[in-house]
Amino acid sequence: MTSIEPIFAFFAFSFMDGSCPYIVVKTLNTPAPISSFDFGHAGHLFAGSDDGTLRVYDLSSFKVLKAVRGLKNEVSSIACFKRSGSEFRDAWVACGNQIFLFKMDMSSMIATAEDAILSLRLTEDDDVLNEIDLDPTKKHLAFSTDSGVNSIQVPREIVSAGYDETFLHFEFREGAILSQQKISFSQNTEGVSLSPPFILSTAFSSTGILAAGTADGSLWIGLGGQKVHSKTKSKRYRKWNGLSDGEKQIFIKVVDGPIVAMSFSSPDILTTSTLLGSIAQWRINSETSDRDKNIKELWRKKGIALEKVNALVTNDTKIVIGGFSKDGKGIIEIWDRETPIETSI
């Protein structure tokens, strides 16, 4: 396989805290650190903790509506999906080396592992689950272990990335590797980096843009698999091609410190967080041929009370950040957007 050389660039961004269109509307505390998030629908937040607890919050009252306790291990990942006739989303929950499926419209407020309608052990005892994800059809569930993270983009494909600095693109029905790419960070930093160049976080946009954040504060954007809007609708399956076009890859050093979480809130708006809670939002412009204008930092702001960040989730109006405070207990910050996001790059 021919190797693909990505585009490398370094951008010096200004700190634009004053232009942040979000404000922190609520801080929630939990006994144990927050480890994972997912939105049910726009009004429900699913939050997992290190102590094996899952809570469902109402984002209008900020009260806990439902909870699962006693899962024995950290809730490392949550994948919600809609079931007809229920106000609550059902949830797949990764915990230790098991996954559990819960119907959250249960009659009781608090459930345990015994209330799961399905539980599966997926790995050996010494290899815990890192991430789970549902494909767009909600018919296939992917998982990864501590060696990497996975993201599903189309019903037949999955992209994995991890500490080996490598993206792997699979067709999982055939068990075939469609493409792969090892990315070199040595050309992407000024001076010597004290952090290893591990890939710590990934995100897919709804249009097929792949983003990744690293332990040395670099941001990788792959535009090669972006869907192009067409006037004619076609149901023909097309392979995602995001690792195959080196001309449509951007690699930039954006911050000192590891980028541990990221999320797309729209096809071209990406939110990232460092371990110490420096939150930034980026606009990605794939229309321009000027690589210096492909990505623009819209704003950057520090979290209020978070000592370390473990999880982040966004939608079109909210940013939710979770981790732990200085006392080691869990904390959730809920940010609401007050002003429109800048639309030009």
Each residue of 70-94: pLDDT tens digit? 999 999 999 999 999 999 999 999 9
Q: Which of 84-98, 116-130, 314-328 shows the lowest mean pLDDT across its residues? A: 116-130
Burial group, residue 340, by CB count within 10 angstroms (0-12, 13-18, 19+): exposed
Which tens digits make up the pLDDT trace of 212-270?
A: 999 999 999 998 888 765 555 555 667 788 887 666 888 889 998 999 999 999 999 99
Q: Angle at Cα 43 formed by Cα 103 and Cα 328, nearest 5°? A: 80
What is the CATH number assigned to the segment(s) 7-181+293-337?
Answer: 2.130.10.10
Give the residue with greater pLDDT, 1 vs 56.
Answer: 56
> What are phi and psi for residue 115, nearest 5 degrees?
-90, -5
Signed CA dihedral, 158, 147, 192, 306: sign only: positive
How many residues are listed for the chain in this entry? Answer: 345
> Rounded to an integer, what distance in angstroms lies between the CA atom of residue 92 and that of residue 102?
7
Strands 218-222 and 210-214 turn out to be antiparallel
Residue 107 has pLDDT above 80, yes or no: yes
Which tens digits make up the pLDDT trace of 171-218?
A: 888 888 998 888 765 445 454 556 677 899 999 998 999 999 999 999
Which tens digits make up the pLDDT trace of 127-144?
A: 889 999 998 888 889 888
- For the chain, the domains span 7-181+293-337
> Rounded to an integer, what distance in angstroms lies between the CA atom of residue 209 and that of residue 245?
12
Q: How many CB atoms lie within 10 A of CB 299?
A: 18
| Predicted structure pTM score | 0.87
